[in-house]
């Protein structure tokens, strides 16, 4: 077990245990059954200690044919209509041989799609080898796509950072900065303006692909905001379910810092600045804080401007083009 200390609102309550196995995140089989609404065909087996460590799955068609070289038994096994009909067509002696060899491997679980049910021999050998059998109503391809996508998120590399994540006009804005600088107050104002809170104080960031970072809240602080002088505020209860969101892609980072008159701040934005999480680069704006500045409007403007840039329009480049055209016209008039 690895212990992560999350800075912020709950002090010692933010000591969170994250289950890991040899440095890798894990998902309990019970979570998969609940999330995918699977039916357990072997309720007599204890599945509380069974864990999935990789997002890949396997359809054991080759194994049913007797080929076990390079077989990844640690993956979740999915049996669809093709594998099922092949299994049913095997002679009884061959069935027993293949079933025994297949189910003697250290398989975490086997899922039968399309409400297909294993025959009595398969069920008997599975129970003897303590291999859980599950069933879903979903089609094989659809179920595979859904569970791979979910496992990729759950088993993705994950870090926890101090900040606030808000969905602003569909853009995931991660607000960071020193403790007490005004991140939670800015988030609260954004919520009042119709935007949605993902998490306050502790942001769990998962790298689901080389281009995508997904942020979420630790279960213990979900939907809560800490306001100094007031205490803990339940955003979902105060502002309704439309004011919160469970997960959000991180598109933009806004770093709040105290105003330093000796420091030069970017006033045009011709060149983007970036920050990096888990090897992925995210556009980052450093915003100096002074009394009277409305952080919520600044965050909204940054989110809209970022969205415009993704759609191909850059206001700074447009201003630069106009200046160049004006200078060119002046030179032409002088000539």
β-pair type (51-52, 274-277): unpaired
Q: Are 265 and 286 in contact (CB under 8 A)?
A: yes
CATH 3.40.50.300 in the chain, residues?
158-318
Active site residue 331: no
Q: What is the pLDDT of residues 127-168, one digit of tens each?
A: 999 999 999 999 999 999 999 999 988 888 889 999 999 999
Selection from 118, 121, 20, 124 nearest residue 77 by Cα: 118
Q: Which entry of 201, 206, 251, 285 is annotated as an active-site residue?
A: 201
Q: Which one-letter DSSP state was computed for residue 95? A: H
pLDDT (0 to 100) of residue 10: 44
Which one is catalytic: 28, 101, 162, 307?
162
Mean local confidence (pLDDT), 95-123: 95
Element (H, E) at 29: helix 29-36
Tokens 């088993």: give the residue: 155
User: Do residues 175 and 256 lie in contact, with contact meaning Cβ atoms separated by under 8 Å?
Assistant: yes
Pick from 293, 194, 179, 295: nearest CA to 235:
194
Lowest-confidence range among 10-14, 193-197, 284-288?
A: 10-14
Superfamily of domain covering 158-318: P-loop containing nucleotide triphosphate hydrolases (3.40.50.300)
Marked catalytic residue, from 75, 95, 138, 183? 183
Q: What is the dihedral of CA 134, 138, 142, 143, to 10 degrees?
A: -20
Burial class (CB in 10 A: 0-12, 13-18, 19+), 331: exposed
Q: What is the pLDDT of residue 28?
A: 94
18 close to 25: Cβ distance less than 8 angstroms: yes
223: left (phi over 0), alpha (psi -120 to 50) or beta: left
Active site residue 210: no
When pLDDT is cut at 50, 70 and 90, the band that residue 16 belongs to is: very low
Which residue in 261, 267, 290, 331 is the catalytic one? Answer: 267
Where exactly does CATH 3.40.1390.20 map onto the chain?
A: 27-153
pLDDT greater than 50 at residue 121: yes
Cα(235)–Cα(192) distance, integer angstroms:
10
The question of whether 119 is a catalytic residue gets the answer no
- Ranking 108-117, 237-246, 324-333 by mean pLDDT, the lowest is 324-333
Q: Please give the average per-residue pLDDT across 25-50, as a whole number.
A: 93
Contact 144, 55 (CB under 8 A): no
Which pLDDT tens digit goes with each residue over 175-230? 999 988 889 999 999 999 999 999 999 999 999 888 899 999 998 999 999 888 88
Active site (annotated) includes residue 234: no
Please identify, in words, the CATH class of the domain defined by 27-153.
Answer: alpha beta
Q: φ and ψ at 170, to 5 degrees?
A: 85, -5
DSSP string spanning 246-295? SEEE--EEEEEEE--TTS---SS--S--EEEETTEEEEEEEEEE-TT--H
Q: How far apart are CA 136 and CA 330, in angstroms?
A: 73
DSSP state of 110: E
């Amino acid at each position: 077990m690895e212990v992560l200390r999350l800075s912020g609102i709950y002090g010692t309550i933010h000591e969170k245990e994250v289950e890991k196995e040899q440095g890798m995140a894990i998902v309990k089989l019970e979570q998969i059954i609940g999330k995918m609404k699977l039916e357990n065909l072997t309720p007599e087996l204890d599945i509380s200690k069974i864990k999935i460590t990789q997002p890949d799955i396997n359809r054991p068609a080759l194994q049913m044919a007797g080929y076990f070289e390079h077989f990844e038994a640690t993956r979740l096994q999915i049996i669809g209509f093709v594998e099922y009909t092949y299994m049913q067509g095997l002679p009884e002696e061959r069935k027993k041989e293949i079933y025994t060899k297949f189910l003697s491997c250290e398989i975490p679980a086997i899922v039968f799609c399309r409400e297909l049910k294993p025959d009595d021999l398969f069920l008997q050998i599975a129970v003897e080898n303590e291999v859980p059998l599950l069933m879903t109503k979903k089609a094989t391809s659809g179920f595979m796509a859904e569970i791979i996508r979910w496992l990729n998120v759950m088993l993705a590399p994950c870090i926890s950072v101090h900040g606030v994540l808000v969905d602003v006009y569909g853009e995931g804005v991660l607000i960071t900065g020193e403790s007490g600088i005004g991140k939670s107050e800015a988030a609260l104002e954004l919520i009042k303006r119709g935007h949605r809170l993902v998490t306050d104080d502790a942001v769990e960031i998962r790298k689901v692909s080389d281009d995508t970072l997904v942020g979420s809240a630790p279960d213990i602080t979900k939907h809560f905001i800490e306001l100094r002088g007031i205490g803990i505020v339940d955003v979902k209860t105060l502002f309704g379910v439309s004011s919160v969101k469970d997960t959000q892609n991180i598109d933009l980072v806004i770093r709040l810092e105290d105003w330093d008159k000796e420091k030069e701040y970017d006033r045009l934005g011709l060149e983007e600045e970036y920050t990096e999480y888990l090897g992925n680069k995210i556009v980052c704006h450093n915003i100096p804080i002074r009394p009277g500045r409305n952080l919520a409007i600044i965050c909204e403007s940054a989110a809209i401007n970022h969205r415009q840039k993704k759609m191909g329009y850059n206001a700074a480049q447009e201003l630069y083009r106009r200046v160049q055209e004006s200078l060119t016209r002046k030179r032409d008039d002088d000539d």
